[in-house]
Structure 1
Amino acid sequence: MAELIISEWFVSPVVAKVTDIIKFYVKNQIEYQKDKKSKLHELEKHLRKIQAAIFEVGKRRIRNPCLEAWLWDVKDAVYSVEDIIDDFHYKLEKARSKGERKVSRVPLLAQRVGADFFNTVAFASESTPKLSMAIQKSAKLVEEISILVSVAQFSAVTTNKQHEVSIPDWRRTTSPTKSTCLARGRQHDIDRLLNMLGDASGDDKYSVVAIVGHGGVGKTHLARLVYNIVKQEKKFDIMVWVCACNSFDVRRLSIEMVESAAIGRPSDLHAISNLEEIQNILGEGLTGKRFLIVLDDVWEESNTKWENLCIPLSSGEKGSKIVVTTTNQNVAKMMRPKEIIHLDGVEGEEYWELVRVHALGDRNHITIPHKLESIGKRIANKLGGSPLAAVTVGRALESKLEEEHWRRILRKRICEVKQAEGDIVAVLRLSYEDLPANLKQCFLSCSLFPRNYCFEKDELVRFWMALGFVRGDDGNTMREEDTGEELIEELSCRSFFVNAKRRHNKFELHPILHEFAECVCDGEYFRLEGIKSSKPIRIPNKAHHVYVAADDLIAVAETLCDKKEMRSLVVAGELSSNHKDIKSKYNESLEKVLKSLKSLRLLVLSVLGNGLPEVIGKLKHLRYLELPGNAIPEWPRSFCKLYHLQWLILRMHSTRVSLPEDMNKLSNLRCVDADSEAIAAL
């Protein structure tokens, strides 16, 4: 696949969170255990150095396999530290639930308490070896930093050049290309945009039309098709095409507008440093003329820069137009457009025809054999209507019109198909790399669930909170739930999420973005569905979050038991057989898995063979638990030892569902989603 830059998103949010927790305990909580305090202080210093190194390397945007391996080591080490700190917090919560002294119920137990209490529950002797081991591991990582930073500085010499403002040739050109056939399925959008450009109503000298959609959906191609139609019809006196890409540089864009419009100018235009002088030249050239400016691929959300760019454009004649293409709805709204075109994928037979045309290339006159066409349509169905994906995959199919070759393409993910400049993965990569670090991890986490999975807003926010992806603001003026909703809104505005079937508060990833996320996460979020092979099941070493079909849990139980550091387990679907032996084996497998996966933060079980096992109480790090409510005849006594539990979700509610006694011990519980009678019983 096209290379992805391994940068600070990969681990920095986890490091930052754990470092802040340690800092808190060093400052407020370990007054009576000096030896533990010094160890934690040492660990905090190591993590600060690691965090600084990650930031430095991330800033240089490095691609390096050694760095990637090192970052995985950092992540594993930090997860271990997080568990140790979490274990300490668990002991405090446990003691509070038993009424030992008076312990604060605020997050992280900000109240200082007495020496006797800390001697009882604070970093106990069994935690000391773990803490020492974590310090040794972090110290080793710190030793490796200097070497890696040196590598980063060396690599940056070439890598940074690649990431200066570099606009691909295919974005600069307005000439018709082989991809003109991308007009298939777009006639309605073409007509709509033409009508907008022909509308000269209103008092403003110019108006803005924005085209918004995810990467690869065909925004640039739509603008290019209409641009060329209007050019032939000579409806505008001046026509300009400029590409903003990842840098909204007002001076550069103003110069390119002058050049694209063929306005008379000094020969040394690029030597002029004064922006006002450049814009005067542009304004004079536009005076009294009706213009069309296409501003392609705008990323930056800056009112000031946009307003500065528009200063000379008021010189034009009434009826002038600016067409903007962007993945970000907030960028479009910033420009106060008269119209916004939200571009969706091409659907049905028209999309298959798009794939077919690119698959046949110059052999478009031939008829595809029925078997080949059947495979081709299955491939097309995977691509979610993305025109650019049709180009990429079609080119791969074109190399061999053979059944086995097409089947190989069918089995591949989009990122595993050979790519050229400007192909789908390169375009998606730009959108992805533009995300802040916290949004990157939120986006990738969605790949744990199946393609076309419909997320509810509250469900998604709870997932992210349980995994520590949502952190409140420093002033504590906003609830974490509200912060989580803002993250969803941001991903939606950037065209990563679409409203599922246009339903309120329900979201899904576009299929092509889902595949892209699977490629980027590199096995950290791993899904097993419909296992058919009799061979041993392999789960990547990097897997920290696993989704498995209920029918497959028995087959993968042994493998799952080796993944001690796992953070999430989702067991989905129903058992295909209600046979007593199957249910018994399922429950045995589930119990075995839960005994091993003691670091789980999130657990979703759609099936309980014979009720909830007693071992559930051992999951002391658990934040989110989702269960089939009508499958719990009796709650295990250990359930109320889940002192970190924040969300208890009971699906398939039944009036017979009763909640366990001693629920009041779960002082961190934020939400119980169950039937009204069960809630009333609380």
Structure 2
Amino acid sequence: MVDAVVSFVVQRLGDFLIQEAKFLGRVNNKVMWVKDELEWMQSYIANAEAKQIDNPMIRKWLSDITEISYEIEDGLDEFFLQVKPGWLSSMSSCIKSNKLYGTGEKIDEFQNRINDLSRRRQLYGLQDLDHGKTEGQSSNTTLGRLKQLRRVTSFTVDEKIIGFEDEANILLAKLLDKEPRRSVISIYGMGGLGKTTLAKKLYHIDDVKKNFNRRAWVSVSQDYNTRDLLIRIIHSFGFTDLTTEELKNLCEEELERYLYGLLRGRSYLVVIDDVWQKEAWESLKRAFPEGEKGSRVIITTRIWKVAESSDERTQAYKLRFLRLDESWQLLCEKTFGKSDANDVDAELKTLGMEMVQKCGGLPLVIVVLGGLLSRKSKLQEWKQVRDHIWQNLRNDSIHVSCLLDLSFNDLPYQLKLCFLYLSAFPEDFEIDVKKLIRLWIAECFVPQERYQMPEDMAKHNFDELVGRSLILIEKRSWGRVATCRVHDILRDLAIRKARELKLLHIYDQLKPSACDPSSASTCRQQAIYSAVDVCPALRISNPNMRSILFFTPDKAPRVTILNFPLLYKFRFLRVLDFDGYDQCCPRNLYEGIGNLIYLKHLGLRKLGFSKLPSSILKLKRLQTLDLYSDGVEIELPNKVYKLQELRHLFGSLTGRLRIDSLTKLQSQVCKQRKLE
């Protein structure tokens, strides 16, 4: 998780060196050293995160490397804040030398602290997991225990499957249809939905056993070895005449030919469970004859791209979340041993329904909850579980947190940051996808590529998260995804991770107990949900904050007190966005907005401003200016064409705008008057 922050800062250091290398002299070498050291230290972070559970010193090490990464980013922004474009080339040598000397001193401090981190890394025995592992090395980490647990429990056959009867019948028909060629059926969805359970049910149906005279099951997981998989598949089929030692003496190609020979001319079914990379199936499929015997392969995966690219005849099936009635049946089955539970005490049922709603239709969480409740028969005990449900779940089983963590940890660092950004949105909030993409770009989560539009790259990130079942598509418009949302459980995961990294603080005046003042003073992002007076939240916030997002959930009071000048102390702000906070602000925006020179996204939608100050022209990095407000025309400064980075402009606008000069403009949803 920490790697997301460190990688982001390494990327920014690289951009800094490219932009200013020819001016920085000896300071350039120091910046390069810091970048290289952070980049090298990244390879040890995974090992540190695996060990931190039982070692507070390593937790402190991770916290320190996160903190120095943030400070380095602040140092970069501070450097640019003090200068104007082209300042180094025009500045006198004396002033330039003083500026660079101050920068060099700060970098010297970073170097000393990074050297200390490196010394402590050696002291704690942290390893580069890419090079420090030996073949067959075991792990005592939570992740290692989880993988071992999956292998042990994945073949526990439940007698009854709840909630997926229709899905099971559909997939059974596909398994038993008359198509003679080998075909692949892919079941995909987020971890814990029941993909393995459903595949297991199909695997053990009598008609399936009769139809396929050879069957095998193998679990892949993230860390796989093709030779090992082939050997395990051969053993699972159960009709080899070679011993394990003889099989181990065969190379990968020989194992492929051997398995191919065993299956040729036969009707077979093989389940390849928990596939994370499409290369895993690609490395195996040569061993499975096409034939004309109606053979089938079932693949379970969390990742849509793996599911749909498995074979030219792939039938990808996305597993849904359970409905509330199905969730209750499953909870009753796990708690009382029966799915109807008509004789359950009314108060227990009320509490149970409250808790099962919080599970969000995720079978894995419901099963763990049922395991908890099955050991508690008293009403008071159920109330305690309800009041502390998430803590109890985390402490009772490694499945819940680790299966969700596994999906998160598999993400590249840009996707981790994009996913964590979703934590700022209120529960069940319907997120405009185009706006989300603009926010990601403004936050610098999308690396710059010479021949690619940032919107296209950000959309790719969005599609990746959808494909991994971490984002739910809500609405479509003209064949495209218009809005999305985050499942409650995944939002909880994102909030937990974001808070651990000191990324997020949520200020909600309706839930003061959930607000942590200490996190407000260190966070990089502030989400303000509902507050009559937001000034207290802003006063205690980190002055180096990068984004402030305002929301007004349904039935929440609108902001009535908002001191705009208070916002202008956040010098490094990239995103300032209001969502429907209408009629709460002065009619005109203050001149101080021009002090926020890093601002890339300014969302003033529905605030009712009639005029923007000329100081807005100082926002040279501004990419999005959203001024849309029903029935209100907004006057822009005449020289708005100087905002050459502007890509998206929304609102009913007046003034001599000369929008044609904005060569990067991608979205222009606005009415205009008095244009040149």
Which TM-score bucket, shorter chain as reference? Answer: 0.7 to 0.9
CA root-mean-square deviation: 3.5
| Residue 153 of structure 2 is aligned to residue 201 of structure 1 | no
Matched residue, 1:645: 622
State how 1:285-434 maps to structure 2 within 5 Å.
Answer: 285-302=262-279, 306-314=281-289, 318-336=293-311, 337-361=313-337, 367-412=343-388, 414=390, 417-418=393-394, 423-434=399-410
- Deviation string for 1:635-679 (max 9, x for gaps)? 234332223222111243434222234323433322212232248
Matched residue, 2:39: 51
Q: Secondary structure at the match of 1:673?
A: strand
What displacement does 1:293 show?
0.8
Give me the whole-angstrom Cα distance separating, in 1, the residues matched to 2:146 and 2:557: 60
TM-score, normalized by length of structure 2?
0.84
Matched residue, 2:433: 457
Give me the whole-angstrom Cα distance separating, in 2, the residues matched to 1:575 and 1:427: 32
Q: Secondary structure at the match of 2:204?
A: helix
Q: Secondary structure at the match of 1:547?
A: strand
Q: Secondary structure at the match of 1:29?
A: helix
- Deviation string for 1:17-67 (max 9, x for gaps)? 23213322552234xxxxxx4335323312321221122343676432434
Q: Secondary structure at the match of 1:672?
A: strand
Matched residue, 2:16: 22
What displacement does 1:333 show?
2.1
Give me the whole-angstrom Cα distance separating, in 2, the residues matched to 1:535 and 1:511: 16
Equivalent residue pairs, number? 637
| Residue 412 of structure 2 is aligned to residue 439 of structure 1 | no
| Residue 488 of structure 2 is aligned to residue 496 of structure 1 | no
Cα distance change of structure 1 residues 635 and 170 upon mapping to structure 2, 3 Å threshold: closer
Q: Secondary structure at the match of 2:626?
A: strand
* Contact 1:255–1:269 (Cα < 8 Å) also in 2: no
Matched residue, 1:664: 641
Q: Secondary structure at the match of 1:674?
A: strand
Matched residue, 1:109: none
Give the letter for the 1:591 counterpart.
P
Aligned identity (percent) is: 22
Give the letter for the 2:508 counterpart.
E
* Contact 2:508–2:514 (Cα < 8 Å) also in 1: no
Matched residue, 2:259: 282
Cα distance change of structure 1 residues 681 and 140 upon mapping to structure 2, 3 Å threshold: same
| Residue 562 of structure 2 is aligned to residue 587 of structure 1 | yes
Give me the whole-angstrom Cα distance separating, in 1, the residues matched to 2:238 and 2:605: 68
Larger mean CA deviation between 621-630 and 460-469 belongs to 621-630
Give me the whole-angstrom Cα distance separating, in 1, the residues matched to 2:623 and 2:348: 52
* Contact 2:527–2:551 (Cα < 8 Å) also in 1: yes
Matched residue, 1:108: none
Give the letter for the 1:193 counterpart.
L
Cα distance change of structure 1 residues 401 and 126 upon mapping to structure 2, 3 Å threshold: farther
Give me the whole-angstrom Cα distance separating, in 1, the residues matched to 2:257 and 2:597: 67
- Deviation string for 1:190-209 (max 9, x for gaps)? 1001101111224x2x1111
Give me the whole-angstrom Cα distance separating, in 2, the residues matched to 1:680 and 1:404: 70
Q: Secondary structure at the match of 1:551?
A: coil
- Deviation string for 1:462-494 (max 9, x for gaps)? 111111111023xx1112222111111212222
Matched residue, 2:671: 677
* Contact 2:21–2:28 (Cα < 8 Å) also in 1: no
Matched residue, 1:118: 91
Counterpart of 1:625 (choices 598, 602, 605) is 602
State how 1:42-191 maps to structure 2 within 5 Å.
Answer: 42-58=30-46, 62-64=50-52, 65-89=56-80, 115=89, 117-119=90-92, 129=102, 132-153=105-126, 160=139, 162=141, 167-171=147-151, 175=155, 177=157, 179-181=158-160, 183-191=161-169
Give me the whole-angstrom Cα distance separating, in 2, the residues matched to 1:42 and 1:25: 15
Structure 1: which 5+ residue stretches go unaligned? 1-5, 31-36, 96-102, 104-112
What displacement does 1:441 show?
1.5
Give me the whole-angstrom Cα distance separating, in 2, the residues matched to 1:527 and 1:481: 27
Higher relative contact order (CA 8 A, sep 6+): 1
Cα distance change of structure 1 residues 335 and 478 upon mapping to structure 2, 3 Å threshold: same
* Contact 1:659–1:681 (Cα < 8 Å) also in 2: no
Counterpart of 1:564 (choices 535, 540, 543) is 543
Give the letter for the 1:12 counterpart.
V
Give me the whole-angstrom Cα distance separating, in 2, the residues matched to 1:363 and 1:384: 18
TM-score, normalized by length of structure 1?
0.83
* Contact 2:9–2:72 (Cα < 8 Å) also in 1: no
| Residue 217 of structure 2 is aligned to residue 241 of structure 1 | yes
Structure 2: which 5+ residue stretches go unaligned? 653-669
Larger mean CA deviation between 623-632 and 53-62 belongs to 53-62
Counterpart of 1:609 (choices 549, 563, 585) is 585
Larger mean CA deviation between 258-267 and 408-417 belongs to 408-417
Give me the whole-angstrom Cα distance separating, in 2, the residues matched to 1:77 and 1:49: 12
Counterpart of 1:470 (choices 440, 446, 450) is 446
Give me the whole-angstrom Cα distance separating, in 1, the residues matched to 2:88 and 2:417: 39
Larger mean CA deviation between 332-341 and 608-617 belongs to 608-617
Give me the whole-angstrom Cα distance separating, in 2, the residues matched to 1:120 and 1:667: 30
- Deviation string for 1:395-423 (max 9, x for gaps)? 23333344554445445574762356672
What displacement does 1:632 show?
0.8
Give me the whole-angstrom Cα distance separating, in 2, the residues matched to 1:645 and 1:121: 33
Cα distance change of structure 1 residues 369 and 318 upon mapping to structure 2, 3 Å threshold: same
Cα distance change of structure 1 residues 507 and 535 upon mapping to structure 2, 3 Å threshold: closer
Give the letter for the 2:544 counterpart.
E
- Deviation string for 1:448-470 (max 9, x for gaps)? 11222233332122111111111
What displacement does 1:310 show?
2.2
Give me the whole-angstrom Cα distance separating, in 2, the residues matched to 1:218 and 1:334: 21
Give the letter for the 1:21 counterpart.
D
Cα distance change of structure 1 residues 620 and 87 upon mapping to structure 2, 3 Å threshold: farther
Give the letter for the 2:35 counterpart.
L
Cα distance change of structure 1 residues 235 and 553 upon mapping to structure 2, 3 Å threshold: farther
Matched residue, 2:424: 448
Give me the whole-angstrom Cα distance separating, in 2, the residues matched to 1:16 and 1:29: 20
Matched residue, 1:100: none
